[in-house]
Structures are given as C-alpha cells and as structure tokens.
Structure 1
Amino acid sequence: MRFVQWHWSLSRLFGALWLVSQPTYRLKNGFS
C-alpha cells in the first residue's frame, strides 16, 4: 500500500510540474 501511495504522490508531483512548465515553455517560444 505504501508503494502505491508513493507512486500516486509522485505522479501528482510530475503532473503539477508539467502544468507549470507548459505556459513557461510556450512563453519562451512566443506561442502565448
């Protein structure tokens, strides 16, 4: 169970990082 909880929190962390990086990446390329 602990492994599942760790994996879930890790995927959530990467999801949040991806959401944050998307607008920044588009702004850098001028696609805003």
Structure 2
Amino acid sequence: MLTTFHRVWDGPHLVALVARMEAFLLETAVGPA
C-alpha cells in the first residue's frame, strides 16, 4: 500500500523536480551572460 502510494505520488513530484532543475539551469546559464 505504501509502495503504491509512493509510486503514484512520485510521478508529479518527479516532473516538478525536473522542471525546477531545468529552470535553475536556464537561470544559471542566462544569468552571468
């Protein structure tokens, strides 16, 4: 049960994490330039 909940919860969480990472990388690349 906990594993299923974790798997269902991890989907959107992973997407948000990747999006935040991309935004951070974009900011870092564009910032100093």
TM-score where L is the length of structure 1: 0.60
TM-score where L is the length of structure 2: 0.59
Higher relative contact order (CA 8 A, sep 6+): 1
What is the CA RMSD across the aligned residues, in angstroms?
1.2
> Which ranges in structure 1 are unaligned for 5 or more consecutive residues?
none
The count of residues paired between Structure 1 and Structure 2 equals 30
Structure 1 runs, 4 residues or longer, greater than 4 Å off: none
Higher radius of gyration, 1 or 2: 2
The share of aligned pairs that are identical, in percent, is 7
